[in-house]
Amino acid sequence: MTRIGLFFGTDTGKTRKVARQIKALFDDGLMAKPVNVNRAEVETFMSYDYLILGTPTMGEGQLPGASADCAEESWEEFLPRLEDRDFTGKTIAIFGLGDQVTYPLEFVNAIFILADFFESRGATIVGRWPVEGYEFEESLAVVDGAFMGLALDLDNQSEQTEARLAGWLKSISDSFGLPV
């Protein structure tokens, strides 16, 4: 079985696209193919000690799901299925998509929501990312001067996505045993 699970939530398909970019860099023995959380089984999710999770930030800083008017279920509906699970010993890295121009007061807040959920259940969160190069006013995902995961803005800074993704994967490579 592969060592790293790659799960994402999405509404428009942009987060799926980034998850596929990540997967394309690694062989099937190392990383599983990306799975939308609306199709994920809890036991499969729990079977991985290493998880890379992706999410957009919707509306006013929410996870994707019904209350954010998403067409399909997503993180909002999947997380309650994990509430009673223990994530001690699991290492999780999170990437998040947001729009810093249209939503400067809640840019990539969903990174924080996921990190807080899993960290409070024992997971080790890795993959902090610098705030330099972004123009936003507030984000729950900024803790001690850095994002709690990789922040991507495909709407306003798509030209930086590839370099940011490569830098982030390199930053988590030791924790995940990635050959980057």
Structure tokens at 88: 């001690």
Across the range 37-47, mean pLDDT stands at 97
CB atoms within 10 A of CB 28: 9
* Helix (H/G/I), strand (E/B), else coil: 112: helix
Query: Global pTM?
Result: 0.96
pLDDT bracket for residue 60 (50, 70, 90): confident
Is the sign of the CA dihedral 165, 7, 37, 75 positive or negative? negative
User: Which 3 state secondary structure label does DSSP give 7?
Assistant: strand
Whether 1 has a pLDDT exceeding 60, the answer reads: no
* Range in 19-28, 76-85, 131-140, 146-155 with the lowest mean pLDDT: 19-28
Per-residue pLDDT band for 19 (boundaries 50, 70, 90) equals very high
Q: What is the mean pLDDT of residues 109-115?
A: 98
Domains and CATH numbers, the chain: 4-175 (3.40.50.360)
Q: How many CB atoms lie within 10 A of CB 78?
A: 21
Q: What secondary structure letter does DSSP report for 3?
A: S
pLDDT in tens, 132-157: 999 999 999 999 999 999 999 999 99
**Radius of gyration over every alpha carbon of the chain, rounded to an integer in angstroms:** 15
